[in-house]
Amino acid sequence: MPRELRLSIGQASETGRKETNQDFHGALIPDAPLSTTKGIAVAIADGISSSEVSRVAAESAVKSFFTDYYCTSEAWSVKTSAQRVIAATNSWLHAETRRGRHPYDSDKGFVCTFTAIVFKSATAHIFHVGDCRVFRVSGRTLEQLTDDHRVIVSSAESYLGRALGVEPRVEIDYRPVSLEAGDLFVLATDGVYEWLPPRLVTDIIAAKADDLDAAARALLQTAFERGSTDNLTVQIVRVDELADGEASEFLRGVELPPPPLPEPRAEFDGYRIIRELHGSSRSHIYLATDIASGRLVALKIPSIDARGDPAYLRRFLMEEWVARRIDSPYVLKPEAPMRPRNFLYVVMEFVEGRTLTQWMIDNPRPDLETVRRIVEQIAEGLMAFHRREMLHQDLRPENVMIDATGTAKIIDFGSVRVAGVAETMPETDGDILGTVQYTAPEYFLGAAGSDQSDLYSLGVIAYQMLTGRLPYGAAGGRARTAALQRRLKYRPATSEARNIPAWVDGALRRAVHPDPARRYDALSALLFDLRHPNPAFLAASTPLLERNPLRFWQGVSMLLAVVVVVLLALLARR
């Protein structure tokens, strides 16, 4: 069995010399698979002393973090999930103050500091607003991992420069920290850390290492005895064991054996094979009937050649996992599992149609509006991936189906990169997963890719649909260094006699720029420019030499012929 992350947690909180405890804290260790896909969370909050409702703010911040963080998509990264949840809590606290008795006095509103750590795989993700502190025990001292958001006015006066609920929006500090077995973290409010020197903290924890709750209580008692006048809260987290990187839920399907390649009319697991739809070195796809329901489905079976490759099987299993988390009419849908499986395969909806590759063969000179409609549908499908922090990474005409209604659907999710899964189980190889002609240049330089990488692939497809060729020819797939990529020459789409407006060519040129920073920031911006002339592209129209070299040189030849005739006429007069 794969190892999973194991932590020991000790916590304590006391009112101290104040009448009420405005601190709040907590820890949540969820059951599998959330403990793997989302991690283990600890959080601490400290309400401001000037507000009667700050205790409510602190409690709400911690409880809502635990509730909402674990409801976010498993595909999202920890950073995206946590920051969105904290930002939403901040907006709610600010709105509560506006509805309260002191709507414009934040010192009496729903305001608190907030600090959380999410432990996932081999990383501690720290999120911080305010002046609670996170320390890592380093030998006999403490390494402070957070910065205090406190503004010092004088030696006797200071105020919080940043806290939850003060403004409609909040800036959240984020810091990832690599973990090792035995690491020890301490979270504390100012009522504790301002009264205890680092050496004393580490000595107390070391003396009670077998009972971290007792160690936390001892730290509070010592801070109180040393004169602390504030509420006291501390959390201690020890990393007992790290995950081995193989604990993702979908990997458990590898235990199932791949089925033998079936023949027509063969039956297995409740399906009857009709015929093979597609076969390649990557997979075998069959049209089949679900015997119980009579529905037509597509069965995808692992390639015979790659069944011994763990990385391939992991990506194969990811396909159904990804498909179940995407909801778009322009993305292939999985079939709901109706019964236990005895073999390793993927069941998807059957799309009656043709690949975009075949569509382009059948429609060698499509009109601009038809191309726009197809590109817009593919872009909508990509946006569904990107909203879930997924990159398709292998968008190409062969991976787009056009059904009988003319609807485009993105298929084949074997190369999809999922941010949340990558945190748990990073890629172990540096292979280019996509087809080189459509792969964004940054992948060849070892970059992880971005939304702009999928946008590049879509730009190449749009260009090919309009021109029948690739924007950089064969050189695009061979440019494996930054120097070669800088020398790539874009071949204007307007050089073909297809009546393509210069501003459409400008949009395509930007979409397929080798430098991702010079592409569109969003797919929606590309779609807008494909329908609305961008003045920038009209002003910087392509020179005739690039747009139509033949016409340029014909013009030069004609001009030279005129010059020759004039010179001959002048010589004849002499």
> Per-residue pLDDT for 522 more than 90?
yes
**Over residues 148-162, mean pLDDT:** 79
Specify the pLDDT at position 281: 75
Q: Do 267 and 187 belong together in one domain?
A: no
pLDDT, one tens digit per residue, over 349-373 is 999 999 999 999 999 999 999 999 9
CB 444 within 8 A of CB 488: no
- For the beta carbon of residue 230, count every other beta carbon within 10 angstroms: 21
Q: Which two structure tokens, joined as six digits, stand for 423?
A: 């945190």
**Mean pLDDT of all residues in 134-158:** 86
Q: Is residue 83 situated within a structural domain? A: yes
**316 belongs to a structural domain:** no
- What band does 556 get if pLDDT is binned at 50, 70 and 90? confident
Tally Cβ neighbours within 10 Å of residue 339. Answer: 9
344: pLDDT confidence band, cut at 50, 70 and 90?
A: confident
Q: Does residue 245 have a pLDDT over 60?
A: no
CB 481 within 8 A of CB 513: no
- Give 313 or 273, the one with higher predicted confidence: 273
Residues counted in the chain: 574
Reference 171, options 127, 208, 213; nearest CA is 127
Residues 188 and 272 grouped into a single domain: no
| Residue 250 reports pLDDT greater than 60 | no
Closest to 23 (Cα-Cα) out of 234, 236, 237: 234
Asked whether residue 20 carries a pLDDT value surpassing 90, the answer given is yes
More confidently predicted of 155 and 340: 340
Other beta carbons within 10 angstroms of residue 570's beta carbon come to 9
Left, alpha or beta for 16 (phi > 0: left; psi -120 to 50: alpha)? left
Q: Output the domain CATH number for residue 512.
A: 1.10.510.10
Predicted local confidence at residue 272, as pLDDT: 94
How many whole angstroms from its chain centre is CA 60?
28
Query: In the predicted model, is pLDDT for residue 15 greater than 60?
Result: yes
Return the pLDDT at 429.
47
Residue 247 pLDDT level (bands cut at 50, 70, 90): very low
DSSP string, 326-363: ---TTBPPBPPP-S--SS--EEEE---EEEHHHHHHH-
The answer to whether 103 and 97 have CB atoms below 8 angstroms apart is: yes
Burial code of 529-564, b = ≥16 C-beta within 10 A, e = fewer?
Answer: bbeeebeebeeeebeeeebbeeeeeeeeeeeeeeee
Q: Is 279 found in the same domain as 202?
A: no
DSSP state of 324: T
**Per the domain annotation, does 203 fall within a domain?**
yes
Give the pLDDT of residue 101. 83
Q: CA 340, CA 362: separation in Å to the nearest integer?
A: 41
Domain limits for position 278? 252-310+334-349
Amino acid letter for position 439: T
**345 lies in the same domain as 371:** no
Confidence of residue 255 (pLDDT cuts 50, 70, 90): low
pLDDT at 546: 58
Q: How do 400-403 and 283-290 pair as beta strands?
A: unpaired
The reply to whether 211 and 264 lie within a common domain is no
pLDDT tens readout for residues 75-99: 899 999 999 999 999 999 999 999 8
Q: Is the dihedral of CA 438, 444, 448, 450 positive or negative?
A: negative
- CATH for 301: 3.30.200
116 and 22, same structural domain? yes
441 within a domain of the structure (yes/no): yes
Inter-residue contact 419 to 76 (CB < 8 Å)? yes
d(CA 323, CA 328): 10
- Is residue 548 included in any domain, yes or no? no
CA–CA dist 352, 375 (Å, integer): 20
- Structure confidence at residue 557 as a pLDDT band (50, 70, 90): confident
Residue with tokens 């498909």: 323
pLDDT of 194 strictly over 70: yes
Q: Are residues 233 and 110 in the same domain?
A: yes
| pLDDT surpassing 90 at residue 329 | yes
- Does residue 217 sit within a domain? yes
Measured distance CA(251)–CA(246) in Å, rounded: 7
Kindly report, residue by residue over 396-422, the tens digit of the pLDDT.
999 999 999 999 999 989 889 998 888
Same domain, 106 and 181: yes
* DSSP per-residue string spanning 79-113: HHHHHHHHHHHHHHHHHHHHHSS-TT-GGGSS-EE
The pair of structure tokens assigned to 310 is 């763990």
- Last residue of one domain, picked from the residues 241, 270, 286: 241
Q: For the chain, give percent helix, strand, coil, nearest 5.
A: 40, 20, 40
pLDDT at residue 113, rounded to an integer: 96
CB 352: neighbour CB atoms within 10 A?
10
The CA-atom distances, in angstroms, between 209 and each of 184, 188, 189, 215, 236 are 10, 18, 21, 7, 10
Distance of CA 206 to the CA centre of its chain: 40
Give me 86's structure tokens: 């904290």
Measured distance CA(469)–CA(466) in Å, rounded = 8
Number of domains in the chain: 3
- Kindly state whether residues 125 and 48 are assigned to the same domain: yes
Whether residues 406 and 304 share a domain: the answer is no
β-strand 150-154 against 40-47: which pairing, if any? Answer: unpaired
Looking at the fold, whether 120 and 229 belong to one and the same domain comes out as yes
- Given a cut of 80, is residue 143 above it in pLDDT? yes
Q: Is residue 571 part of a domain?
A: no
Residue 324 inside a domain? The answer is no
Average pLDDT, the chain: 89
* AA identity, residue 332: L
35/176 same-domain check: yes
CATH number at residue 149: 3.60.40.10
**pLDDT tens sequence across 158-191:** 778 899 999 999 999 999 999 999 999 999 999 9
